[in-house]
């Protein structure tokens, strides 16, 4: 069994938010409930943030 790495922003653009939510909601991670929670409840919201203008990122570039 193999895995595919998919950029979440690309997925949102390709298949839309509802199908992306459905796909992410099927992910289970009994060993790490925080990861499961993030993917189910925060990943899409986080992806929509404009992280390229994040002040922390700007400080790290200097």
pLDDT in tens, 2-60: 888 889 999 999 999 999 999 999 999 899 999 999 999 999 999 988 655 555 555 55
Please, are residues 39 and 27 in contact by the beta-carbon 8 Å criterion?
yes
Distance of CA 40 to the CA centre of its chain: 9
Give every CB contact of residue 24 below 8 A, 6+ residues apart in sequence.
39, 40, 43, 44
Task: Supply 32's token pair.
Answer: 């790490």
* pLDDT for 4: 84
Domain ranges of the chain: 8-61
Work out the number of other CB atoms within 10 angstroms of the CB of residue 20. 20
């Amino acid at each position: 069994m193999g895995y595919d790495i998919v950029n979440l922003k690309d997925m949102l653009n390709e298949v839309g938010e509802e199908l992306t939510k459905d796909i992410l909601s099927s992910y289970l991670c009994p060993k790490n409930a925080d990861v499961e929670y993030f993917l189910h409840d925060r990943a899409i919201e986080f992806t929509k943030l404009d992280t390229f203008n994040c002040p922390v990122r700007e400080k790290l570039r200097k």
